[in-house]
Homo-oligomer: A and B are copies of this chain.
Amino acid sequence: MDPAKQRRLEAAGWRVGTAAEFLKLSPEESAYVEMKFLLSRRLRDARLKEGLTQAELAERLGSSQSRVAKMEAGDRSVSIDLLLRALLQMGLSPRQIARVIG
């Protein structure tokens, strides 16, 4: 957020902070959520790069369109395990995956 906007909001009585602050996440929880977010975004990029729909990717993964949507959204019901398996299935190497989270 740009500083000017933040000043305007705070002048209007709003408190401005990060999602982690709002949700009272510990540093470890924040890092976990961040890693998950990065992996989910990478999955979406990989799918779009191959010109696939969520349904097509789902079929390739042996899953469903709705689950792919949730994977890409970093939904609470999606584990990092699932994201990692999906990315490996998309042909990413462990090294490439490491670059995503590091």
Q: Could you list which residues of chain A lie within 8 angstroms of chain B, going by C-beta atoms? A: 28, 31-32, 34-35, 79-81, 84-85, 88-89, 93-95, 97-102
Q: Which of B35, B88, B94, B95 is close to A94, meaning CB atoms less than 8 Å apart?
A: B35
Alpha-carbon distance between A31 and B90 when the two chains are bound, in angstroms: 13
Question: In the complex, what residues of B have CB within 8 A of residue A99's CB?
Answer: 98, 102
Closest Cβ–Cβ distance, residue A75 to chain B (whole Å): 14
Closest Cβ–Cβ distance, residue A35 to chain B (whole Å): 6
A32 touches B88 (CB 8 A): yes
Alpha-carbon distance between A31 and B98 when the two chains are bound, in angstroms: 12
Alpha-carbon distance between A102 and B89 when the two chains are bound, in angstroms: 17
Question: In the complex, what residues of B have CB within 8 A of residue A97's CB?
Answer: 35, 101-102
In the complex formed, the residue of B with least CB distance to A95 is: B102
- Known A-B contacts A79-B79, A80-B80; the reply to A94 vs B101 at CB < 8 A is yes
Closest Cβ–Cβ distance, residue A20 to chain B (whole Å): 14
